[in-house]
Structures are given as structure tokens and as C-alpha cells.
A and B are shown apart, each in its own frame.
Chain A
Amino acid sequence: MTDKKYAVRARNIYKVYPNEIKALNGVSLNVDYGEVLVIIGASGSGKSTFLRTLNRLEEINSGSIEVLGTDIFNKKTKPTKLRTKIGMVFQHFNLFPHLTVMENITIGQIKVKKVNKKDAVDLATVLLKKVGIVEKADVYPEQLSGGQQQRVAIARALAMKPQLMLFDEATSALDPEMIGEVLDVMEKVAKEGMTMIVVTHEMDFAKAAADRIAFMNQGKITEIATPEEILANDNNPQLKQFLNKIH
């Protein structure tokens, strides 16, 4: 037994969807504070499901998960409270179309955290500068390119001052020329010491920013190691096949 503290500590989690699909078959994983973990794996291997269990968008059938020191399935843990500490970025951005960029970033602070409007706008402005689109504060999402929308979505998540950020294929819905601008923002966030779990197939990002890469296959993490070790791995045929396919 150690008393080392982890940002995420998942023990043997199983998840079966109502349609009997076994999405997670015993996933165990520790993520250090400040670590950037990239998850790779074929379509349907359970990457999204795993991410979504961490902020309880998905319930599990068995196992246990501690996030930021709290047992998330404990009866006393409020999902809403938990989620303010975990930022999530989606493949399709999921911005609120009826709100301006500024409102998208401030609504969580104002309505959930009860921050006053001025402070919320100040923080949002800082974040918009960080993601490089401060001039778009007053437009609606539909007027933005995909890359810009995703950067707003990252700012929206950061506005809650999370201690853990989850990215689920944040660049796979983007046109190739916009992938770079979003990855740059993600690297910037990583460099500031944020704990991140990133589902992506961008191996260049993984090499540059990840501390470790986990490979998922059929609801299990079958390899987890540094980027160099994963890329050099020769004895996991599924991993080899997967890496060949995405290159």
C-alpha cells in the first residue's frame, strides 16, 4: 500500500450498455496529477465510454473510480459538483448555439458557480486570448470555423477552473488545416501543468505532449507506456496493426 495521490484511480471497471454491448471489460488505470495521458485504440474499443464514466456521464456496472480524491460513485458525491472540477471537450464541440461566444464561456461560471458577471467576463476574456479568438467574443457559434468553435469549447471548459481535462477526439471532426490550431491550444494547456486525458489519433501530439500512451482494445487497456515505448512495441499484434493503420 502506498498513500500516493492520483488524479484518477480506476479499479477494474466494467460497463455493459442496455443493448448488452460490453464496452468496458475491466479497466484499471492510475493517472498522476499533472500527467498527460493519451488514449488510442480502434473504433468501438471503449475510449469514449471510459472518458465518460470519469465525469459520470455514464454509470458503470462494477469497479470503482476515484477522481481528484473523491470516490465518484459514492452516494454522497454530487455529480454536478464533481463535473465542475472536470472539463470535457467533445468531438463535435457542442457549443450552445443560442448563446454568443462570450455567453458560452460565462454561463457555467455565472449559473453554476455563481460568479458575478464582471469576474466571469474577465476570466472569459483571458481565456479567449489564450485560445486566440478574443475578437470573436460577441458572435454566435455558427459564424465560426470548426477550429474556432473547438477553441471556444476548450475555453468554456477551462472557465470552470477544472483540475482535470478530458478530450474526446477533439480534432477528428475538423478539416485538416484546422487541426493544428486546436492541438496547439491543447499543448499550451498541457504545458501549464493541467492533468489531461486525451483520446486522439494524432500521434505527433502524443509524442510531443503525452507522458504516457494507453492502448485500448475490446474494452481493456492492453498496453500503457511512454510514447517511445508504445511506438517501439513489437509484441502486441493489435497495437502494431492499429499503429500501421493510422500512419
Chain B
Amino acid sequence: MISKPAKAAWNFTYIIVIIGIGYFTFISSSKINYIWRWNTIPSYIIYTSHDTVSSPFNGFVEGYKNGELTIKSLHGVTKKFKLEKSAVKKGNVVDQGDELGYNVSHKAGALLLGLLTTLKISIIAIFFAIIIGIITGLMRIAENPLLKNLAITYIELIRGTPLLVQIFIFYFFIGTVFNLDRIVSGIGALAVFEGAYIAEIVRAGIQSIGKDQTEAALSIGMNYFQLMRHIIMPQAIKRTMPAMAGQFISLIKDSSLVSIISITDLTKAGREIVSSTFSPFEIWFTVAAMYLVLTYSLSSLTHLLERKMAKSDR
């Protein structure tokens, strides 16, 4: 056991070390004459756009009141516009196409759009990976040699080859044969890849539930499906939660590889911005932080769930 004051001292040291690392990074970058432009970064996440409004006809301005501009055409037709900022004044003559003013709106920047794509790909891939994982996990422990060997073949093939290669195979071969959209190929490759790992988690989880439970369930007349659905799976899922969460986090990170087949996820968005600006450091640090937001939220969520499930047992 470490005493309380000693703990505080170590925590303080930790902060010092972190600051030191930050300072070292700063010093190293100033040695290579790198100009940091952090101020440009927020606009890649959210930017404000000025949507200009132009006059639909020739006429003159009647007035601007409470954010509403009124203009009257030469034929006596009046028209009102909601404008946050007016570029004209009462009495001004306006021609068709002249700028009357603009409205301000907030739009998602390229990085945020990329993050949303990454999130979408990950959620759909996790969904299918769970289905694939449960089915092949059950096949893996089946007595039937056909089911069992099919599952083993799948798991070994997938776990023995790199994800990047699988994405290429999915995209160039399967995608071409079945005429798949690139995003479908990407999600498919991810789901099939992570499914093999989830299958092993499912297998281990089921096998960790003793034979006793199976016999008790069978002895009251349950069939295989009822046994799995009501007795084994609920216990196995709870026991495998930490491993599952780890796998989902891996999936989110692995999803960055689909950028290679031109899916504009967070990583691809980062690459595109880097190639058009001179701020690779800021962009990649920001991209990393955005991945961290996803993975950290997920792990916090599972901690919360775990604690809740533990409570339901008390």
C-alpha cells in the first residue's frame, strides 16, 4: 500500500511528466521551424458560413426591422426576407441579383463529417460483427463436424491474414463480383474481420459457463435454443463484456483502414486536409483526439453498464 501523501506526490509527478512531454514536443517542433496554425483547425470541425441573399427583382428597399428586410418591386409587389445582416439601407435601389445581406449558419467541417462517417461505419460493422460472431461462435462449439470445421476455417483464415489485405479482397474481388458500393465493401470487410474475433470471445464466454447450468436447463425440458437464449447467453454476455468492449474499440480504430478504398472517413478527411494545407501536425493530433473521443466514450459506457449489471446481481 502506498500512503496518501505519497500518492499525492506521485500524482503531482505525473502531471509534471505530462507537461514535460508537451514542452519537449513544442521545443522539438520549433527546432524544425514548424509554424503551428492551431487557429485554422476549428473551421475543419465546425465553421460558420455566410449565406448571401440576393434580390429577385429590380426595386427599392422599404425598410429593415427586427431582422426582416422588405423590398418593393417596380410593379408594386412587396417581398420580405429574414436576414441576420443587411447590406442595404432604406430607400436604396436594388437591381435583380444584387446582394441584400446574409444569414449565418453553422456547418460541419470536413473532420466532423469524417468522424460521423467513421461512427456510421463502425456502428453498422459492429452490429453485423456481433451477428456473425454469435453464429460462428455457436458453430465453433457445435458437435456437428461440418459446422465446427466451417467455423474454424473462417476464424483461422480471417485471423491469419491482415485486415488491409482483406479490405482489398473485399473491394476489388467480392465488391466487383457482386457490384458492391465501396462503403458496403468497407463495412463488410470490417464486420467479417471483427466477427472472427467476436466468435472466439463468444466461444470462450459460453465455455466459461459450467456444464451444470446446461444440465439444469435441460432437466426442466429446455431445448437448445431456449438453453442458449435464456440461460447461457445472458451469463456469457455479462462475463464477456470487457472483452467485447475491447473488440469494439479495436473495430473503431481498425475502421481507419477503409480510407484506403477512398471512403471519406475521419482518416481520409485528415489526409485530404493535410494535402491542401501546411498543418500536418495539428491535423493528425486533432484526428487522433477525435478517435479518442469515440473510443473513450465507448469504454466509459461499458464501465457504466458493467457496474449496472453487477448491481442487478446484488
The answer to whether A108 touches B220, judged by C-beta atoms less than 8 angstroms apart, is yes
The answer to whether A84 touches B235, judged by C-beta atoms less than 8 angstroms apart, is no
Task: Enumerate B281-314 residues with CB–CB distance to A below 8 Å.
Answer: 313-314
* Distance, CA A124 to CA B226, complexed state (A): 20
Nearest A residue to B226, CB-CB:
A111
User: Chain A, 143-165, contact with B by CB distance < 8 Å: what is the 0/1 string?
Assistant: 00000000001001101100000
The answer to whether A96 touches B215, judged by C-beta atoms less than 8 angstroms apart, is no
The answer to whether A112 touches B220, judged by C-beta atoms less than 8 angstroms apart, is yes
The answer to whether A94 touches B216, judged by C-beta atoms less than 8 angstroms apart, is yes
Contacts of A81 in B (CB 8 A): 221
Task: Enumerate B55-103 residues with CB–CB distance to A below 8 Å.
Answer: none
The answer to whether B216 touches A112, judged by C-beta atoms less than 8 angstroms apart, is no
Minimum CB–CB distance for B221 against chain A, Å: 4
Contacts of A205 in B (CB 8 A): none
* Distance, CA A55 to CA B254, complexed state (A): 49
7 A-B pairs closest in CB distance: A84-B221, A94-B216, A108-B220, A88-B219, A83-B221, A112-B221, A94-B212
Q: Given A94-B212, A98-B235, does the pair A111, B219 have CB atoms closer than 8 Å? A: no
The answer to whether B313 touches A140, judged by C-beta atoms less than 8 angstroms apart, is yes
Contacts of A95 in B (CB 8 A): 216
Minimum CB–CB distance for B145 against chain A, Å: 16
Inter-chain residue pair count (beta carbon < 8 A): 63
* Distance, CA A55 to CA B216, complexed state (A): 12
Is A90 interfacial (CB 8 A cutoff)? yes
The answer to whether B219 touches A80, judged by C-beta atoms less than 8 angstroms apart, is no
Is A107 interfacial (CB 8 A cutoff)? yes
Q: Pick from A79, A111, A156: contact of B230, CB below 8 A.
A: A111
Minimum CB–CB distance for B179 against chain A, Å: 44
Q: Pick from B212, B218, B220: contact of A160, CB below 8 A.
A: B220
* Distance, CA A97 to CA B314, complexed state (A): 11
Contacts of A87 in B (CB 8 A): 219-220
Contacts of A80 in B (CB 8 A): 218, 221-223
Minimum CB–CB distance for A78 against chain B, Å: 9
Contacts of A108 in B (CB 8 A): 220-222
Is B22 interfacial (CB 8 A cutoff)? no
Q: Pick from A79, A90, A98, A160: contact of B216, CB below 8 A.
A: A90
Minimum CB–CB distance for A89 against chain B, Å: 9
Is B159 interfacial (CB 8 A cutoff)? no
* Distance, CA A233 to CA B19, complexed state (A): 87
Is A11 interfacial (CB 8 A cutoff)? no
Contacts of B313 in A (CB 8 A): 97-98, 140, 142
Minimum CB–CB distance for B58 against chain A, Å: 76
Dominant secondary structure of chain A at its interface with chain B? mixed
Minimum CB–CB distance for B237 against chain A, Å: 10
Q: Given A98-B238, A111-B226, A140-B313, does the pair A90, B215 have CB atoms closer than 8 Å? A: yes
Contacts of A57 in B (CB 8 A): 215, 218-219
Is B246 interfacial (CB 8 A cutoff)? no
User: Chain B, 185-227, contact with A by CB distance < 8 Å: what is the 0/1 string?
Assistant: 0000000000000000000000000001101111111110010
Nearest B residue to A57, CB-CB:
B215
Nearest A residue to B217, CB-CB:
A96
* Distance, CA A57 to CA B313, complexed state (A): 29
Contacts of A97 in B (CB 8 A): 235, 313
Is A92 interfacial (CB 8 A cutoff)? yes
* Distance, CA A81 to CA B213, complexed state (A): 19
User: Chain A, 86-129, contact with B by CB distance < 8 Å: what is the 0/1 string?
Assistant: 11101010111110000000011001110000000000000000
Is B135 interfacial (CB 8 A cutoff)? no
Contacts of A159 in B (CB 8 A): 220
Contacts of B223 in A (CB 8 A): 80
Contacts of B213 in A (CB 8 A): 94, 96
Question: 12 A-B Cβ contacts within 8 A?
Answer: A79-B218, A80-B223, A83-B221, A90-B215, A94-B212, A94-B215, A98-B235, A107-B230, A108-B220, A112-B222, A142-B313, A160-B221
The answer to whether B221 touches A92, judged by C-beta atoms less than 8 angstroms apart, is no
Nearest A residue to B309, CB-CB:
A98
* Distance, CA A107 to CA B314, complexed state (A): 20
Minimum CB–CB distance for A83 against chain B, Å: 4
User: Chain A, 161-181, contact with B by CB distance < 8 Å: what is the 0/1 string?
Assistant: 000000000000000000000
